[in-house]
Amino acid sequence: MNEYMDKMSKERESLTPKTGFNIVIFDSYSPAGEMLTLVDHVETREEAEKIAEEVGTKEFPAYIYGGEDEVSEPSSDDG
C-alpha cells in the first residue's frame, strides 16, 4: 500500500470506535492522515445520523463510523 493510502487507512482506523458511533467531518483539502475531524461519539445510530445531518456540508461531509466497522454515506447540507 502506498504511503498516502496507508495514512488514510490508519486515520480511519483510529477514529473507528469499538462500540457506539463516531461522527467525523471529512476535509479533502487537508493532507493524508489529517483529513478527518472527530465531532462527537454517541451510542445510537439515530443520534449519530441526527448530528451528522446537522454538521455535514457539501464541502465538508460528515461520516458515521460504527463499532462494527460500518461507514455510512456522507451527510451534507445543501446550504
- Domain boundary assignment for the chain: 3-63
What is the pTM for the complete model shown?
Answer: 0.80
Which residue, among 72, 73, 64, 74, has the nearest Cα to 42 in the 3D structure? Answer: 64
Tell me the pLDDT tens digit for each residue of 6-48: 999 999 999 999 999 999 999 999 999 999 999 999 999 999 9
Which residue, among 55, 45, 53, has the nearest Cα to 22 in the 3D structure? Answer: 45
